[in-house]
Amino acid sequence: QVQLVESGGGFVQSGRSLNLSCAASGVSLDMYGIGWFRQAPGKEREGIACISATGGPTQYADSVKGRFTIFRDNTKNAVYLQMNSLKPEDTAVYYCAARTWYSCSVYGIFAQAMHDWGKGTLVTVSS
């Protein structure tokens, strides 16, 4: 089991950017596929980005494609979600989740397949 900690959330105006991080200690995240999910009040959880284990392919939901980028920094043992051109509809609690040797291209951004979850970080985008 890996403990994940998200950070980087906050309150921003529409059109601005935020960079979320998902960090772990004690294990190398490189062998984990990492997904970013979000849940807005009153809405279902949505999978928005995924990066496969060991530098494999990434995948994005249509709602964020072209605006968000998921990437790894193995020197910091972290996975990041760079969010640009934020919109009020991006307001949600953002979670990262992990599963060993996960391939996004094979399984997609599938919450039920993830084994370990962080506690989330809140992103609020004002209009």
Task: Spell out, as residue ranges, where the chain has pLDDT lower than 70.
Answer: none
What is the 8-class DSSP label of residue 117? E
State the Cα–Cα distance between residues 29 and 47, nearest whole angstrom.
19
CB-neighbour burial class of residue 16 (10 A; exposed 0-12, middle 13-18, buried 19+): middle
Count the alpha carbons within 13 Å of 90 in the hemisphere toward its beta carbon.
32
